[in-house]
């Protein structure tokens, strides 16, 4: 996994400063253009988090991970397992696809589940509109939803039980979380999609274009809701994946 040497990953031991919150919000503004809204979102998730990781270039934040852990019954295993809630994971556009996101995720998992996390079973969930984030679910043994495929009923029931944790009113058939991005409903996202979110024509892009976004008259329109992604990893699953990176 190649990461530029000038990038350092820090683990703040104290409450984030107002300047750090602002820097993090300005990264997310590339994907959700409302700075005031995003500062409130970052502050909320940071206050609820079990771990925060910052990717730093000198003294500036270029990416960050905010996450929590739970222990829950899931449809994937007959006993409770550790569950990751990836609250936020964002990078400045110029730092995408350089291994930094995977490093942030790996260190987040280490923080929550210990150094032996690749050898453990656990589940994960996140809210996203980004097909690249959705594609990260390839790291897990199984993940949901997929483009144009039904979600098993037991997974849907598990997802509905997560609604209080993700701050959503309801979950629709496309796994969109109602009430999560109302402020962006109907917004033209064509430029943002083409510049930051679109990378290759794959099933994850098709998934987001049929749920998080809608295509109208050649434009990409925000549907106004995050998509809930759920995954499960068996022990050793990540060892095989990391060896391929």
The per-residue pLDDT for range 128-183, each reduced to its tens digit, is 999 988 888 878 999 999 999 999 999 999 999 999 999 999 999 999 999 999 99
Q: What does the pLDDT look like over 221-233, one tens digit per residue? A: 999 999 999 999 9
Classify residue 2: in a domain, yes or no.
no
* Residue at 184 is within a domain: yes
**Would you place residue 245 in the very low, low, confident or very high pLDDT band (cuts 50, 70, 90)?**
very low
The per-residue pLDDT of the chain, averaged, comes to: 92
**DSSP string of the chain?**
----TTEEEE---SPPPHHHHHHHHHHHTTTS--HHHHHHHHHHHHHH-SEEEEEEETTEEEEEEEEEEEEEEETTEEEEEEEEEEEEEEE-GGGTTSSHHHHHHHHHHHHHH-TTGGGS-EEEEEEE--HHHHHGGGGSSEEE--TT-PPPHHHHHHHHHTHHHHT-SEE-TT-EEETSSGGGTT-B-HHHIIIII--S-SHHHHHHHTTTEEEETTEEEE-SSEEEEEEEE-TTHHHHHHHH-
Supply the pTM of this predicted model: 0.93
pLDDT of residue 72 exceeding 50, the answer is yes
Total domains, the chain: 1
Percent of the chain whose pLDDT exceeds 90: 78
CATH number at residue 188: 3.40.630.30
Weakest-pLDDT range from 32-46, 113-127, 176-190, 227-241: 227-241
143 lies in some domain: yes
192 is a domain residue? yes
* Structural domain boundaries enclosing 12: 7-244
Report yes or no: 53 and 108 within 8 Å, Cβ to Cβ: yes
Among 231, 76, 226, smallest CA distance to 166 is for: 226
Residue 1 domain-assigned (yes or no): no
pLDDT one-digit tens code per residue, 85-97 = 999 999 998 887 7
């Amino acid at each position: 996994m190649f990461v530029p040497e000038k990038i350092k990953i820090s683990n703040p031991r104290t409450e984030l400063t107002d300047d750090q919150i602002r820097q993090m919000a300005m990264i997310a503004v590339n994907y959700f253009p409302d700075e005031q809204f995003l500062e409130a979102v970052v502050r909320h998730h940071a206050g609820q988090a079990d771990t925060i990781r910052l990717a730093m270039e000198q003294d500036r934040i270029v990416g960050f991970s905010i996450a929590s852990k739970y222990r829950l019954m899931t449809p994937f295993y007959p006993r409770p397992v550790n569950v990751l809630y990836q609250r936020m994971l964002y990078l400045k556009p110029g730092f995408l696809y350089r291994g930094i996101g995977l490093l942030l995720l790996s260190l987040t998992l280490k923080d929550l589940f210990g150094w032996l996390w690749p050898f453990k079973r656990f589940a994960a969930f996140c809210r996203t509109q980004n097909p690249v984030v959705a594609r990260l679910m390839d790291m897990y043994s199984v993940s949901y939803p997929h483009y144009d495929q039904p979600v098993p009923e037991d997974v849907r029931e598990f997802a509905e039980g997560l609604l209080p944790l993700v701050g959503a009113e309801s979950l629709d058939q496309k796994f969109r979380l109602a009430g999560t991005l109302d402020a962006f409903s109907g917004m033209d996202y064509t430029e943002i999609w083409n510049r930051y979110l679109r990378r290759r024509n794959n099933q994850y892009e098709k998934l987001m274009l049929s749920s998080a976004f809608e295509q109208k008259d050649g434009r990409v329109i925000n549907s106004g809701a995050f998509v809930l992604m759920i995954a499960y990893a068996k022990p050793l699953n990540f060892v095989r994946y990391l060896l391929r990176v």
